[in-house]
Chains A and B, each alone.
Chain A
Amino acid sequence: KAGVTQTPRYLIKTRGQQVTLSCSPISGHRSVSWYQQTPGQGLQFLFEYFSETQRNKGNFPGRFSGRQFSNSRSEMNVSTLELGDSALYLCASSLDTASYGYTFGSGTRLTVV
């Protein structure tokens, strides 16, 4: 079966711009979680969506937002980009809660210059 697909794989943006990242979960998975991965901070939780509703939220500023569509595909948006937003953004899908097991995508590498 197809895995978790994240697009695009790489992005270069300028400070102050905004960006939208996309995640297509495994068919039948209703939960999508987003993580930011950096060398200094490791894997930091952004938010989780389940059946189009945000179920959990991490400690990121309001510039980070997300949504989930009726087909479970999810997008995350970062507005007013800062240099510190440069990171690997990972999406993980699950049947329901994390205890069902996350399947991660390969991530989107965002570089802010």
Chain B
Amino acid sequence: GENVEQHPSTLSVQEGDSAVIKCTYSDSASNYFPWYKQELGKGPQLIIDIRSNVGEKKDQRIAVTLNKTAKHFSLHITETQPEDSAVYFCAASRDTDKLIFGTGTRLQVFP
């Protein structure tokens, strides 16, 4: 079945630096790739998503890139701030199928 791998599991950066989280997926038919941010005591929140017909998407300090050939997609956060500290999950799905999540990355941004 579909599998999504996510790296790294933890990431520590200095405030103002950039952070990059990478995911690979196994199902070549996957066509939807969202990223979620989960803060303590809350459910995951959708922060950005990309579809298979697009290679890159940007929203202010957050960007996502997709390489369909390599079955790889990444989240880029620039100018990190302490409030970016959270657990980030990538996910993949196709058509009407379920979302399969990666194992999560705990991002810590130090002031």
Stretch from A12-20, A62-70, A74-82, A98-106 that touches the partner: A98-106
Q: How many A-B contacts if CB must be within 8 Å?
A: 57
CB-defined interface of A20-46 with B at 8 Å, one 1/0 digit per residue? Answer: 000000000000010100000011010
A1–B49 Cα gap in the complex (Å)?
A: 22
The answer to whether A42 and B44 touch across the interface, beta carbons within 8 angstroms, is no
| CB-CB under 8 A for A42 and B101, given A90-B43, A101-B34, A102-B46 | yes
Contact of B97 among A56, A101, A103, A104 (CB under 8 A): A56
Please give me the residue from chain A that is nearest to B32 by CB atom.
A99
Q: Is the interface of A mostly helix, strand, loop or mixed?
A: strand
Task: Write out the residue numbers on chain A whose beta carbons fall within 8 Å of the beta carbon of B102.
Answer: 42
A97 located at the interface, meaning its Cβ lies under 8 Å from any Cβ of chain B in the complex: yes
The answer to whether B98 and A104 touch across the interface, beta carbons within 8 angstroms, is no
The answer to whether B99 and A4 touch across the interface, beta carbons within 8 angstroms, is no
Contact of B100 among A45, A101, A102 (CB under 8 A): A45
Nearest-Cβ distance from residue B53 to partner chain A, whole angstroms: 12
Stretch from B10-18, B21-29, B66-74, B88-96 that touches the partner: B88-96
Nearest-Cβ distance from residue B30 to partner chain A, whole angstroms: 11
A38–B46 Cα gap in the complex (Å)?
A: 19
The answer to whether B43 and A98 touch across the interface, beta carbons within 8 angstroms, is no
Please give me the residue from chain B that is nearest to A101 by CB atom.
B46
A101–B43 Cα gap in the complex (Å)?
A: 14
Nearest-Cβ distance from residue A14 to partner chain B, whole angstroms: 25
CB-defined interface of A72-113 with B at 8 Å, one 1/0 digit per residue? Answer: 000000000000000000101000011101111111000000
Task: Write out the residue numbers on chain A whose beta carbons fall within 8 Å of the beta carbon of B99.
Answer: 33, 45, 98, 102
A8 located at the interface, meaning its Cβ lies under 8 Å from any Cβ of chain B in the complex: no
The answer to whether A42 and B104 touch across the interface, beta carbons within 8 angstroms, is yes
Task: Write out the residue numbers on chain B whose beta carbons fall within 8 Å of the beta carbon of A43.
Answer: 44, 89, 101, 104
Nearest-Cβ distance from residue B66 to partner chain A, whole angstroms: 14
